[in-house]
Structure 1
């Protein structure tokens, strides 16, 4: 009987690619999908066993520092991307501390320096994704952080029959959500996002925020 046979049946089972990858020294190719603090926690957990790791990050966040930057600069929301960059940066380097620093008591109070650095890298490198890859090199990340879309998007939901726009407003609503979509409707996944999903042995869905407001 081969190792793939089901005992007593003579039926040979197809090998499970994920289990084979888990049993190998390299580990599986894992893509963690989501946003918020929850995705960063999922990324930390996946590092324990993944051979290659990518975080596929939603870009519809419109709260906090991201909410102030996105409308003026017309870029994908950087906040959740920054959290994943930090989660994938294993060493407590100066760059990591800079990306995690938040201003207090000035005109830029509440802004994350990491978000501002991502904006600056976007403008220096020419595209948001090129700037993000530079950030990965600066931080020495153990995996790739990939925006789900290359453009600014926002959420729109129908809550108790009324249209509510924006991730924060939807999260704070207390009614029943009957419909939700992203705007613009033409927004598409990035090529890197598609490639990561196609190459994945395992796709992990992050929990979003770990606690409800």
Structure 2
């Protein structure tokens, strides 16, 4: 039987499920490594009350890779209305993941159990088995903890790092062995698309995850964001995104970067609705080449709902092309 190429996608937020859905029906062995440092919305409330790993990004990854009918997905994603004060804003899937984590004693086992129940195509691994806190140092020398607070500060971030939320004994956050094995065995590691400092880097800042990405023989592909993000990457070029990743990893570890070169029409974006974004990411191809990157620049843009997104099919086609090039 032909070996299926192994692809590991590391991230969180809204970008991760888009790529997962695109890869689901391809002939690849998918592993999603999902961030657990989210502290906003329903996930943040559950995390604060029950001290559980925030389930939102995991829920979206499950829905992206499930083979269940649409009605089952809709139920899992259903969010209670604000008038239901007791359950306001909570997604049913978040409550199910939280309940299973309590039943099984940890989030990792719970997600594997749920993956089996939901007929998941591939693997979904929370990057850690405990809630993590994102910390940031800004260029003005101040420091802050908590993903939502860091973004809301709207300051230039110098570096981020991770600490366990239950850091009573000063222990370091570690990923499960399955996560590290998946990275080491992969043919391709995909980072993004997603928030640079709050969806991608929190995973890489876990010591054994960062080590595995540095050591793996897999090609490391970064899908560069189309728009800059307020409070995170204001005025960033594509080369700035890669520079920050490489600085945090301590060397030139990004092998290939996918860059959208299709202009975003100025009058199309509704900045009130998509209030996290500010402007299209600028291009600095010389800066990318200096970092030893292979640059794949193309029209990866999909305009919908007055926002700018990655065209899932075009991105997936390029990822598959890279896999074939590496294997040939």
TM-score range relative to shorter protein: 0.7 to 0.9
1:201 equivalent to 2:191? Answer no
- Report SS of the residue matched to 1:36: coil
Which whole-Å CA distance do the structure 2 matches of 1:72 and 1:45 have between them?
A: 35
* Equivalent residues of 2:107, 2:126 under 8 A apart: no
Distance 2:64 2:187 in 1: 21
**Who is 1:30 aligned against?**
7
In 1, Cα distance between the equivalents of 2:80 and 2:181?
36
Q: Larger radius of gyration, structure 1 or 2? A: 1
Does the CA contact (< 8 Å) of 1:30 and 1:52 recur in 2?
Answer: yes
- Which is further off, 44-53 or 129-138? 44-53
Q: C-alpha displacement at 1:175, in angstroms?
A: 1.5
Structure 2 equivalent of residue 115 of structure 1: 94
Instruction: Measure the CA separation in 2 of the matches of 1:60 and 1:100.
Output: 20
- Residue aligning to 2:221: none
Q: Kindly tell me the number of residue pairs found equivalent between the two proteins.
A: 190
> Following superposition, which runs of at least 4 residues in structure 1 exceed 4 angstroms of deviation?
none
CA contact (8 A) 2:6 2:186 kept: yes
What is aligned with 1:144?
A: 123
Q: Which residue among 107, 124, 127 is the counterpart of 2:103?
A: 124
Task: Please report the TM-score for the alignment, with normalisation by the length of structure 1.
Answer: 0.82
Structure of higher RCO (CA pairs closer than 8 Å, 6+ residues apart): 1
Task: Give me the CA root mean square deviation.
Answer: 1.9
For normalisation by structure 2, the TM-score amounts to: 0.54
Instruction: Choose 176-185 or 102-111, whichever is displaced more.
Output: 176-185
Do the aligned residues in 2 keep the contact of 1:96 with 1:139 (CA within 8 Å)? no
**CA contact under 8 A between 1:122 and 1:131: conserved in structure 2?**
yes
CA distance in 2, matches of 1:124, 1:93: 27
Larger displacement relative to structure 2 (121-130 or 73-82): 121-130
